[in-house]
Structure 1
Amino acid sequence: MRLLRFDRSRGLVSTDFREKATPPYAILSHRWGDSEVLYEDLGRNTYKAKHGYRKIEFCAEQAAQDQLQYFWIDTCCIDKWNLRERSKAINSMFRWYKNATRCYVFLPDVSAATDASRSAWEASFRASEWFTRGWTLQELIAPVSVEFFSREGRRIGDKASLEPLVHEITGVPLEALRNCPLDDFTTAERKGWAKDRETSEKEDAVYCLLGIFNINLPMAYGEGVDKAWRRLQMELEAASSAPSIIPFSQNEQFVGRESQLAELEARLFGNKRATTMAIVGRAGTGKSQLALEVAHRTRQRNKNCSVFWIDASDMDSLYRSYASIAQKLSIPGWDDEKVDSRQLVKTHLSEKGEKQCLLVFDNTEDVSLGSSGISTGATHIVDYLPHSELCSVLFTTTNSDTAKRLAAPNVVELKEMTPSTAQRMLENHLTQELSTMEAQPLLHELSYLPLAIVQAAAYINARSITTQEYLSQMARERETVLERTSELPEDSPPRCGTMDPVTIAVLISLDQIRRDSELAAEYLFLAACIDRKDIPLDLLEASSPREREDAVKVLSRYALVTRRPAESALDLHQLVHRALRRWLQKLEYLDQWIESAIRWLREVFPDHNHNNRSKWRRLLPHTKYALSNRSDERDNGNGQDLAWKCAMALYYDGRWAEAEELFVQVMETRKTKLGADHPDTLTSMANLGVTYSVQGKEDKAEPLKKQVMEIRKTKLGTDHPSTLSSMANLASTYSNQGRWREAKELDVQTKLGTDHPSTLTSMANLASTYRNQGRWREAEELFVQVMETSKTKLGADHPDTLTSMANLAFTFKGLGRVTQAFSLMQDCCRQQEQVLGPRHPYTVSSQESLAAWRLEAMEISE
């Protein structure tokens, strides 16, 4: 849990208490506005310019009056770019409000002057929107102390003094307002408390009650209120059965695949032994829907079998899924940030027990998973499968080789649906009735492909047209596509794939969307130029949140996007993404929209300050995708600026090979456009040199660093900070090469202030030289100075501070102070895991050193 406090010299300070005892704190309950202070604003120190800062000031002042140093506000105490943190926060919210010493309700729509009587504010108090919203219900019930304040910051009263009035407004029983155990109330009673409350997302009418029911339920926006209620009811009824996580409702419109369904059910647990199986088929054939039906049927028919759904599209998604399982199973250590939840779950499920388990790995496109976050290389998915005769595994994939490698010979292949099954699917999705004669011509044109059927049905429902009218539109669209294609030059992109049914369905919907909402169409074009998964809504420009929301609803109506409100993001199906790109390419608009995407990404991509790591990790897949497809001829500088930002983020995330590739591109382009001695060119050369060094490529690093230093000496002078920084960089190379005399000669610590970054780098280089020469005492003195200065100027959790801790730990060990070395390195490892991540090279290196020290100690004791 992250808490805020005010520091006289530093202003608003955020402190993470994940590893510490949480101190008493106040908590704010409020309605979100359009200009709230966010977590990232704290790092940029731009929070005072936002309208929402007034609420922060109010909360801080009120907490101080109540002798509380710390306070919590959802807008800026949750890193919304960190999906793991965001998900955990949503599920922890009720507990956080319950544990708060004071809860302040800020009511901007209630005015109460200093001398105002109750009659002056009671009418607006009764009408306040705060009492009409879904999520504020738990904020009223959970805390013991709830105090209400007007927009002027005047205290109106608290939950106790205003009890009759609050009871009358909300209908919440007095016993619940007095914090009686919620188990004393029936499910129907608790459900009724939210009956007349509004939520931005319809499913939130259910999700806002999860804390009140003490239920942890994965959020599946788009499922609808009724399905969300059924899932909640299943969780309530399943208290005595095996715990499960299936984040999607059972598809009531599921049809067909009876033979494959029967085969999967029979073989997964047919002989009461674990089986590994895979469903394979091309995109859009309904693999995930078949797996979902298997998951729900397994849970319904075997109450002792746990079923866990895992998103295996990339390593970060896999990690989040395993973390949810660990929490659901209450495995000891599930909430420990140092623990790898994948190994935790694997070990737990591998232990012998009497209950069966089914793991469904959806979207497993490769046995090795990369990461959109931090990774030192691909990880084999098999490494995280439990070894148990009671745990069956089911994969879905479009890759037949992957299916065979994971599950051969137990592979179920999905092909096109039969005409009768396809008709049942169409009928289930349409709001109108139709006959076989009406349905089959359309289904034939749609190639009986489930995705195309769903999109066609969405369009027919949205426009209230007949299937024959849709067929006519398909014919017209095909003619239009052929005309456009015939007009292109002979060397234009190939035509293949332009006539597939998903493409035609997408283009039909796109034509209508452009008439309904030009902004919605622009969102689609932007989405076609970046990665198709986890598209943050913050990437979608709009004059107001409402305008953006309306445009996104248009896209949802035509089934072209999958909404992820819990992550404030969208997904596109890969076939939709491909169809949009091909359409833009054939009209010669693709380069233009890629440039627009790059321009906007350049604006929103953060600098490489380590406080921004969650944001850049989510934006890196989109940035790399856009940059890899850009046209150099169209680049007006935005591409190179974005490439540099991306490279810097990759460097600080330990993804050095990827950073090197981009730094080379940036350097060569700047040399051509700006000249070899331009400051920006020299900066990119210096960046590349340092990247070579951390990878041990000192033979490549040295000439670059020398060149940068000599040009800066000539252009800027020997004493210029940039020159001194390049001297420090070259000194580090000499030190790594064992050329300690030359490294010492380049020491610049007397040229600048003792706390300048170049000075700290130089001091660290010199300390390393002393250590390599066996001059341990001198090395210790310098490393201590570097560490303490870094703590003061950069912060205790800054990556450079942590590196200095590791260096000092090595020095302690060299001095024979083993206990002190162990303690410091353990602290360093713990903080590196939190700040850099468990797979960052520096974290891995520190952990390996610590493990080697332990092994060495064991051998000595023997």
Structure 2
Amino acid sequence: MLVSQPKQTSKPYRLIPYSRNRTFTGRKNLLELAKGFSEGTPHSRIALYGLGGSGKTQIALEYVYQCSSESGCHVFWIHGSGLLKFSEGFRRVAQHVQLPPANAETDEERFLLDIRRWFEGPNSGDWILVIDNADNDADFAGNNSPIAKFIPQGTKGTVIFTTRSRQVASRQGCRMIEVGRMGEEDAQELFAKRFAFMTETGTSPSAYWTILQHSDERAKKLLSQQFCDVQREVNETESVLGTYFVTFNRITQQMPPAAHLLRLIAFFDRQNIPEELLSQCGLEGMDDPVEFRQAIGKLLGFSLVTTVKCQEKTFYELHRLVQLSLQMYLPTEELVQGRATALGVVSRLFPRCEQQWRYVGPVYIPHAFAVTKDSTHPITEELGFHMGRYFLGIGSYNNAEIQFRRCITLREEGKEYNWDHEGQRRFRFLGVAYIYLGKAKVAEKIFRDLLEGIDKSLSPTNPDVLDLISCLATALARQGKYDESEAVNRRKYDESEAMNRRALEGKEKILGLDHPETLTSVNNLALVLQYQGKYDESEAMNRRALEGRRGGCIKKREAF
């Protein structure tokens, strides 16, 4: 049975719950874009989407006030944050346009559909319907979802959604307008007009900015301050951080893997996060391309992260306020776990070899700094060592020194560590950094102390001992102690020769004279003999290696 359509009234309906915002600032380009989307189209759908607190509602409010002053269109404003509030708003529309009320609770759905038909019918005239805070994906997922089935379509009117979810905007077939950052001048003007803390305490914008930038802890304290906004729902949170908490809760409920990924991102450096740091993070499901794209798509849809393309590679970025909010949102236990997970991911993927340092190192270093800051976790020491080697390899010797010294401190403080081979390596690399920094005398002492300790436990021909001897010789040469440096090098080559002769003898007995590994040892011994100036013997060894390899090739050909 069709509901009777009331006759069109000459006076336009104005169902707007908020007064006009007299301090509204800027956003002219977005307002013009919205007007352009609605003009010349029989029925249009527009979505203002972006982070919570970005000003979506205020833009929609200014838009409808401008339109109502310029034309005779009806304006209806409904809250979309749940079916109950939506239904209440639709019933108020029915009262204004004098539709007969529902006869019973069982007729509620039919009644809401009747209101939709009124919008679509011939007597509704020109109208704008704002659905504010349409954030729950499930309510707007398809034509038969709880709220979406009551939204008018037809050939007339403009529907404007304000939403944190790009998915809602997409599934409702909207022309999308992203509400991002304000221009600097507009932001400063709005900031001075609206921020309660500044008004109530007499704080100037410059002083507030200084406090905000001083440290993350002070920023969190400021952003937790309550503000008053009469153009908000009565149960909406009234702090900057609180607006983000609402979004985090919604993502946790709708897609837990996306929430887990967001919590991981919070502990990286917020800029230039390489995609592999997320897709290879080890979190459940993230190694599956489909699940990863769904999770990162959810975060992109809520404008919590943004993408940046560089040389055909994808990077992600997190706004500082989002990062601070996440760190306030998470309980202490989850903070500790999140930091440890992020540390493990960066440590596992941090480049280990010189070939990767030039291309991958600069991308990973900011994240390595972020996850190791103030950390005493055992993995911190290992990652710090690789960071030190990276800095040493690219010639950033001051940074290399800092990392190696921190490694040594952490190893000395960590009861689970023994002062072992790895600990000695840290000292050796620190000494090398000192040589490049022009502190050869300090380096000399490090190498002598290490040699004194190692000589008691290792053979003089051990590779570690030989490396230290070489480092000591370099430190002496850098101080102009050339005779002593030459003597140290001579010791190294003598001991290296002895080590290589023993290795060769062993392989000859076990593998045979012409085995490839035996011939490799012949080559190694020839090189050491050359360094010592024993050129005749070195030549003889090289000839033996060459003839042995030729003989091996002939035998292979005969086998075929």
Taking structure 2 as the reference length, the TM-score comes to: 0.48
Larger radius of gyration: 2
Taking structure 1 as the reference length, the TM-score comes to: 0.32
Answer 1 or 2: higher relative contact order, Cα 8 Å, separation at least 6.
Answer: 2
